[in-house]
Chain A
């Protein structure tokens, strides 16, 4: 009963969601992007240290079993598509991650929009985000709300909010000392990223809520993830995150196209998983090859459910889903 009631109650929001999803597709079609339906079942899941892929067993016609996983993002498949010579592509579909909360900001099954542009850097994606926002607004609310976007370098953000020159805190030792000085209980063995986020999430993120449309760009090179290091600003990687109403909506990179560097980063992640006693996965060699063949490009992953939450003023992700996990299993 409560499942049907949830769907009934959310009817207006779910209809608006359908309009938003249609508007997203139209935006990319009009710009000549190709929509790619990536496989949801993969052999080599992403191995970002804090993600837990969902396992699936695939059986062939002779009942032979294959260990598969539901993808945590379409990134590997889309990079293979780009390496195969396709131009601008996007994918809009479900992704799956275990060990996420049922409701709040997360649902273990969620919708991700990912798109890549060839021969550009991450600035082109910032423009896409801003234009797509207006396009959706026009389609959904039939008017253009005056929205003022702010683009801030991570270094300027730290200076503005906590008076710290981030250029001076680019090593694990330096940021460890800063955490200590600020009174955090930190362990020397923590990663640079973990220590960075202790300060960022406690002291900066609560303050950025006052800027409803914010793009934070240039992350310290230690947090490059899959981004290339900036040529003009070599302490930083060409990565940005999009925040709407203080909630992280998207994460973008000028993509790394160095095969060896990619291999090293994946090995490092594998090692980190091992140390944290998490399951480790084989490196996807086709993906490594794809990175080596990538043209200069920029890519971005955007959480569609969270974007819908913004347009519909829903605080809980459950309210924008037909049946969230909390309604399926509770």
Chain B
């Protein structure tokens, strides 16, 4: 048995005889009260999302998942295709499993896929991914003075993010996939 501190995105939890994958969670710690861990979990078999709140420190039945590295290939209809880096087989993972993480995928990106009884249940992206800037409106004189300190740019995989005004088309930039935020030009680091 694990404790609530081990709950994280992509973990698989057995709850009332159903298997759920954790989609989101947060620790809640009121000053006058009791600490709890709130989770949003998806029933792996039924697809339904539920919210469960555990008392922090409570035992939680976290089920072992098998993890393997796969390389992203392309987006199909309702699925994303990956290559298993050990067997070189193509594995299709449904949009439901990938959910919001899909927007960070780009051809050739390695991700960690968690599987349970050979079914992919979650993917884990690298925390920082480098993209090339495809569209970036040029900075206009006076931008900074008028308070426009950021602009929306489009990256090579279609993802749009906010970036500082000095970012130009063709720059290689880092995006933090946990927050979706600009994390610097890749040459800065």
A residues near B (Cβ < 8 Å) are 1-2, 5-6, 8-9, 11-12, 46, 48, 50-51, 72-73, 97, 99-101, 104-106, 183, 185, 190-191, 193-194, 197-198, 201-202, 205-206, 223, 225-226, 248, 251, 301, 318, 326
Contacts and interface: CB of A to CB of B under 8 A. Distances in A.
Contacts of B55: 190, 194, 197-198
B87 interface: no
Contacts of A46: 31
Contact of B27 (A48, A100, A202, A251): A100
B188 A9 contact: no
Given A198-B55, A201-B53, A202-B52, A51 B31 contact: yes
B27 A106 contact: yes
Interface residues of B, number: 32
B102 interface: no
Interface string B27-61: 11111111110100000000000011101101100
B53 A198 contact: yes
A50 B27 contact: no
B29 A97 contact: yes
Given A8-B149, A190-B55, A251 B31 contact: yes
Given A12-B147, A206-B51, A72 B31 contact: yes
Contacts of B176: 2
A46 B31 CA distance: 10
A52 B150 CA distance: 38
Given A106-B27, A183-B16, A202 B53 contact: yes
B103 interface: no
A185 B57 CA distance: 13
Given A8-B164, A9-B162, A201-B38, A1 B184 contact: yes
The CB with the most chain B CB atoms within 10 A, among A9, A106, A190, A301, is that of A9
Nearest to A8: B149
Given A2-B184, A48-B31, A201-B53, 15 more contacts: A2-B176, A8-B164, A50-B34, A73-B31, A97-B29, A101-B26, A101-B27, A105-B26, A106-B29, A185-B58, A197-B53, A201-B36, A201-B38, A202-B52, A202-B53
A191 B162 CA distance: 47
A2 B33 CA distance: 35
Contacts of B147: 11-12
B28 A9 contact: no
A197 B34 contact: yes
Nearest to B51: A206
B3 interface: no
Contact of B182 (A5, A104, A301): A5
Contacts of A248: 30
B107 interface: no
Given A5-B164, A5-B182, A202-B53, A225 B32 contact: yes
A211 to B, nearest CB: 17
A9 B33 contact: no
Contacts of B181: 2, 5-6
A223 B31 CA distance: 13
A225 B34 CA distance: 12
A48 B36 contact: no
A205 B28 CA distance: 13
A193 B34 contact: yes
Contacts of B179: 318, 326
Contacts of A6: 181
A12 B148 CA distance: 10
A247 B160 CA distance: 30
Contacts of A72: 31
B50 to A, nearest CB: 10
B52 A194 contact: no
Nearest to A49: B34
Contacts of B38: 201
Contacts of B188: 1
Contacts of B26: 101, 104-105
A301 B31 contact: yes
Interface string B175-189: 010010111100010
Nearest to A50: B35
B30 A251 contact: yes
Nearest to B59: A185
